[in-house]
Amino acid sequence: MVGVENFIRYLIDNLGFFFERLTWLSVVDLALVTLIFFALLLLLRDTQAVVLLRGVLVLVVLFSLLNSLELLPAFSWLIRTTLPALVLAIPVIFAPEIRRGLERLGRAGFLFSNGKTSPEAQKAISAVVGAAMRLSDRRHGALIILQRLDSLEEYVRTGVMVDAQVTPELLLQIFYPNTPLHDGAAILEGSRLVAAACVMPLSASGVLAHTPDRQLGLRHRAALGISEVCDAVVVVVSEESGAVSVVHSGRMIRRLDAERLDNILRAFYHPDAQRRGLASLFKGIFPSGSKPGGEAR
């Protein structure tokens, strides 16, 4: 009890010392640090990295509290010895997320746009919407990736090169059951269908485990997986139910009709959405409270 009382007294004294030295510059300093952590948490949300980050934070806080009691000298020595190694291991653990964030911040032209939605994007959206509705009516599964700023070259190399003008008929032919290219994703760059039968990374975030629907299989996991590692927009057609979904940044919205699908896709290429730049790190097109049943996570 004496040790706990000493710790509480020490904590109160430090809080008093902190508030005595608090100035407007200190408030700005704390606000900047808070903003950085908030941005990092938004980048990592709904990914497997969040679980790792939570575990690291719990360990650091627990070990710091035990070390501050000064009742366990051997344990304190162990913590002082191993904690720097744990800090050095964080960049290794979160290497993919750090790399993705740095690539987005360092990309030339990231903060600016030409103020117009390109005709190529309009053609691609019209073709994708038309094909998705026809595929939905026929219950033909499909996975269509619309590239935005992040390069998808490493995933293009896993598929079959097509490099053709995208049309609804071409997409229908690719995703016709039992054809050589139907199993995998089609990647679109502008108005060109670059490749088909591409292999996508599967999501490990566990988002689909919270949905009551049983029709969400590997296509939807692949759609979530690619959306977690880049800024691409993904259109998924369920082979079992025919439901059309859009996925972006680990968020999924399902059961779309043609008009709503068209509006959502065009919103991603609207000049206002492009000009947001860094603001897109803090607010996506999908509402944060959406869930996989209708407005889905």
Do 168 and 45 sit in the same domain of this protein? no
Q: How far is CA 265 from the centre of its chain?
A: 17
- Domain with residue 154: its CATH number is 3.40.1700.10
Among 73, 106, 139, the domain boundary falls at: 106
Strand 185-189 relative to strand 233-237, pairing: unpaired
Q: What is the pLDDT of residue 14?
A: 72
DSSP 3-state assignment of 181? coil
Q: Residue 261 falls within a domain, yes or no?
A: yes
Structural domain for 63, as ranges: 2-106
Contact between 252 and 224 (Cβ < 8 Å): yes
Instruction: Assess whether 63 and 208 both reside in one domain.
Output: no
pLDDT averages per 10-residue partition of the chain, 297 residues: 67 72 79 84 61 70 69 72 73 68 54 53 91 95 91 92 94 93 92 94 70 69 88 92 90 90 87 45 42 42
- Cβ 251 vs Cβ 284: under 8 Å: yes
In the chain, the number of structural domains is: 2
- Nearest CA to 169 among 130, 142, 137? 130
Helix or strand run (H / E) with residue 238: none
Domain end residue (candidates: 106, 127, 160): 106
pLDDT score recorded for residue 166:
94
Q: Is the residue at 290 inside a domain?
A: no
Amino acid at 47: T
Q: Are residues 180 and 243 in the same domain?
A: yes
